[in-house]
Amino acid sequence: MPGPKTEEVSLPAGHKGGCIVMKLSWKIFFITTPLFVLFLTLFGTWIVQKSFQSNLTREIESCLMENEMFQTSYELTLNGMSSGQRKKTSVRAVVEPFHQAMDSTLGCARIYDDARKVLYQDNELTVSHRIWEELEKAASVQAVGENSEDARSDQSAGERSGNGKTEDAPSVQSTGEDGGADGVLPQSVGHAQQTSDASAGTYNVGRQIVRQDGEYYVAVLARSSSGVWFETLHNVSSVFEDRDDIYSSYQVGMLLVAFFSGLFTLLALLLVMRNTQKLSSATRRFAMGRYDTRVSIRSDDEIGRLADDFNWMANVMNRQMEQLQDDVRRQEEFTSAFAHELKTPLTSIIGYAETMRSMDLTKEESDMCADYIYRQGKRLQSLSYKLLEMAMADQYQMIYRNVPVKELFDEAAKTMEMAFREKHLVLLVEQDDGYILGDRVLLSSLLFNLLDNARKASSDGGRIWLTGRAMAGGGYSITVEDEGKGIPPEELNRITEAFYMVDKSRSRKEGGAGLGLALCKKILELHEGSWQMVSEPGKGMRVVVLLGAPAANGNARRRPRRARRRQGTGGGGTMDDPVREERTPRSTME
Amino acid sequence: MIKILIVEDEEAIANLIRMNLVKSGYQCEIASDGEEAADAIAERPFDLILLDIMLPKLNGYEVLEYAKTVDVPVIFLTAMGETDQKVKGLKLGAEDYIAKPFEIAELLARVETVLRRYHKTERRIRILDIEIDTDSRTVTQNGREVDLTIKEFDLLLLFVRNKNRALYRETIYENVWGGEYSGTGRTVDLHVQRLKKKLGLEEHITAIYKVGYRFAV
């Protein structure tokens, strides 16, 4: 018979190249790294922007303060003068003394009147801004009664500086009125102050960040109570430069961090995936039929546990497979032995019969043929009865009762008498009084088969002992011992296999089919008994059978068996020999 | 005379084979286990060995290995009948195999075939006034060639090889035509009649009532 068929199952697609490992780690790598970079970028940008904003705000505030200080200084100086003095004094004269004393960092200061005419400027630097318009707009909004806030003006100006759109188109506004710098002080200061207070309130300060010639300026324009506009400019490029510096170094750092973290992730993934690859290739090897494949991954993580599970599964499967193979092997051996046992007598019977019918034979020859046919027929009969018995034992409904050992022994001795006499064997029976709990028919069969085996093994005139001993624990032991040729120790564990014969030709001559001990084993299994075989080649063999204790009340007890007992099943191999046909095991059944 | 060694541990089968081979004119010897067979092969020359596989001591395959060293054709006798056993035997160098249970006529035919392949048998068979050339498949009677069909020639060979043996119609049919004999056709009878007529064997080939024919010499 061919071995167990291995079904052809193709490998799952994608497993063939072994590149699935790379795929998964690269996948994870390509997903995580950009996400990481994106997150770092967003976070970094936010942080840098935040700090930039706060720096800028601080700068702006200081600019506002500067403007206010300038204003205050101007007002104070002006207030210190008499009105006559005011008329004579130019704006420059008013400003210059304190302006010079003031912080030299003040980038640029300019003073306008309401007509936007420059009254004073300390620097030629001019930046274009739209604070005027913003302030006018805010004022007009207020004028139509809308409730607007200073913050809005501030904010919109801030926004404008923030988005940098207006910064991008710097245009140097030439006032063309340099002379105006030395203009006369406006006369209607008081009036202007009043209107300013009345109409604008807090809408007299505006600021804007302006970009011009690559430099950033904060322009602050405020209308003082004296009715002139103060414009101060302050260079804040350093804040922007700082931001850009931080940005670029942050980008370098971020790229480095992203690179190393990506590398680390990839390495870690490859390490994990190497384990999964190990598992995967082990699984493939296992599937290809190398069932001794095991994985060694020493790790407590999920992969390690998966590997342990794999090994566990492999062990379990191995065990089951071995058992299955064992079963198959045994089945094959049984089949092949059975075929041999069946075909040999059939061949003889058919062959001799054919010879007889097609040839003119002498009386002697035809007698010989007839004898062979008869004996081989008997052999077939014995085989079929034994097989039948074996099959029946499987579905036999046992009747449990306490069987008196003496009756059992007497019956066995009587049954064997003729067969033993033929070989001049002496049977020595000795037993303790007692009972065995079991099925009488099967027990008879057991005893008969054991004695028959002893008979077959014995040479002419040998002795056979049949001894029964009541055990201390309530059980009963039966010993069958002979002086026959014995069995080599290495074959002892095989003799209960069906059709196994230690000496085939001899067993054949004695009419054995090689099933006796297999049947005994089955009967013992049904009785939950045990046995022991001791043998020394050339000196004989001893079989000790241990059977359970009898039931205390001695009543018949039925054990549920799979099927009903059938008529005449308990023959115990009685048809082996013409002599034994006299035995009537059925008489023991009730 | 052709000598055949029968290696078979079942006495009944060994005797059966020997009885029939001897009746067919071969000389036979029986070995009942592997060692005995090996001894016999070593000591005496044989023309053919019939070899059982399940043998005590040395199994059939081992004996086959041994037999190959002295160049003796081997036919396996196998009870297993399973394909791989046959294949194994044939691969190891057996000439043929016979599965138990076998028919005597089949055994004889296979023995004859293997022997012929090894040129152990006479190419020409002379019987009565007939001469049969098994190679060129020609038949001459008293020096005159007789024209026979393929089936008639096979039938003649079967009768000659089984002379003095009753051949059942089914045996004849299975050996000459092959396949299962239905038991109703008149094919066998028709061919036997024609063969008898062509060779003038009316006296020698006799019908046996309800059985078949016998070629008696």
Q: Which of A340, A346, A360 sits opposite B80 (nearest CB)?
A: A340
Final residue in a domain of this structure, among A209, A229, A245:
A245
| Domain ranges for chain B | 3-117, 124-215
Q: Which residues contact A44 (CB under 8 A, 6 or more apart)?
A: A250, A251, A254
Q: Is residue A57 part of a domain?
A: yes
Q: What is the domain extent for residue A59? A: 22-245
CB < 8 Å to B105, chain A: 354
Q: Is residue A364 part of a domain?
A: no
**Residue A116 zone, left/alpha/beta (φ > 0; ψ -120 to 50; rest):** left
Give me the torsion for CA of A501, A503, A508, A514, rounded to 10°.
-10
Suggest the residue from A5, A347, A360, A366 to mutate for an interface test with chain B (most B CBs closer than 10 A): A347
C-alpha A420/C-alpha A80 separation (Å) is: 158
Assess whether A387 and A240 both reside in one domain. Answer: no
C-alpha A489/C-alpha A486 separation (Å) is: 9
Number of domains in chain A: 2
Q: Provide DSSP, B113-151.
A: HHHHHTT-S-SEEEETTEEEETTTTEEEETTEEE---HH
Question: Amino acid identity of A279?
Answer: L
Q: Which CATH class is domain B3-117?
A: alpha beta
CB within 8 Å: B15 and A372: yes
CB A407 within 8 A of CB A572: no
Final residue in a domain of this structure, among A221, A245, A269:
A245
CB within 8 Å: B80 and A359: no
C-alpha A482/C-alpha A479 separation (Å) is: 10
Give pLDDT tens digits along chain A (590 positions).
444 444 455 555 545 444 444 577 788 888 888 888 898 889 988 998 999 999 989 988 888 888 888 888 888 887 877 777 777 777 777 777 777 666 555 567 788 887 778 877 777 777 777 887 888 787 777 766 544 444 444 444 444 444 433 333 333 333 333 333 344 444 333 333 333 333 334 557 888 888 888 888 888 888 877 778 888 888 888 888 888 898 899 889 888 988 898 888 888 888 878 888 888 888 888 888 888 888 887 777 888 888 888 889 989 988 998 889 888 887 887 777 777 778 888 888 988 998 888 887 888 888 989 998 998 888 888 888 878 877 777 777 777 888 888 888 888 888 888 888 888 888 888 888 888 888 888 888 888 888 888 888 888 888 899 988 888 777 888 899 988 888 887 777 777 777 776 666 555 556 566 777 888 888 888 888 888 888 888 888 888 888 875 554 444 444 444 434 444 333 333 333 333 333 333 333 33
CB within 8 Å: A343 and B81: yes
Q: Which 8-state DSSP code applies to residue A184? A: B
> What is the Cβ-side half-sphere exposure of residue A561, based on CA atoms within 13 angstroms?
18
Q: Is residue A12 part of a domain?
A: no
Q: Is residue A489 part of a domain?
A: yes
- A546-568 burial, b if ≥16 CB within 10 A, otherwise e? bbbbbeeeeeeeeeeeeeebeee
CATH fold for domain B124-215: Arc Repressor Mutant, subunit A (1.10.10)
The SS3 call for residue A399 is: strand
| Tokens at A85, concatenated | 């003095």
CATH number at residue A408: 3.30.565.10
Q: Which of B9, B79, B165 sits opposite A358 (nearest CB)?
A: B165
Q: Is B79 on the interface with A (CB under 8 A)?
A: yes
Q: Which residues contact A307 (CB under 8 A, 6 or more apart)?
A: A275, A278, A279, A295, A296, A297, A299
Q: Is A358 on the interface with B (CB under 8 A)?
A: yes
A–B CB contacts, 8 A cutoff, strictly below? 81
Determine the distance in angstroms separating the CA of B209 from the nearest CA of chain A, rounded to an integer.
13
| Tokens at A476, concatenated | 């009963």
> Is the reported ipTM for this assembly greater than 0.90?
no
Final residue in a domain of this structure, among A245, A266, A284:
A245
Q: Which residues contact A317 (CB under 8 A, 6 or more apart)?
A: A291
C-alpha A447, offset from chain centre: 58
| Tokens at B3, concatenated | 């000598």
pTM (two decimals)? 0.49
Determine the distance in angstroms separating the CA of B6 from the nearest CA of chain A, rounded to an integer.
15
CB within 8 Å: A355 and B13: no
Q: Which 8-state DSSP code applies to residue A197? A: I
Q: Is residue A446 part of a domain?
A: yes
Q: Is B177 on the interface with A (CB under 8 A)?
A: no
Q: Tell me how far CA of residue B71 lies from CA of B34, B45, B74, B118, in angstroms.
A: 18, 10, 9, 10
Q: Which residues contact B214 (CB under 8 A, 6 or more apart)?
A: B164, B165, B166, B167, B205, B206, B208
Between positions 108 and 137 of B, the ones with CB within 8 A of A are none
Q: Is A2 on the interface with B (CB under 8 A)?
A: yes
C-alpha A366/C-alpha B19 separation (Å) is: 11
Q: Is residue A151 part of a domain?
A: yes
Q: Which of A1, A340, A358 sits opposite B79 (nearest CB)?
A: A340
| Tokens at A22, concatenated | 């790379």
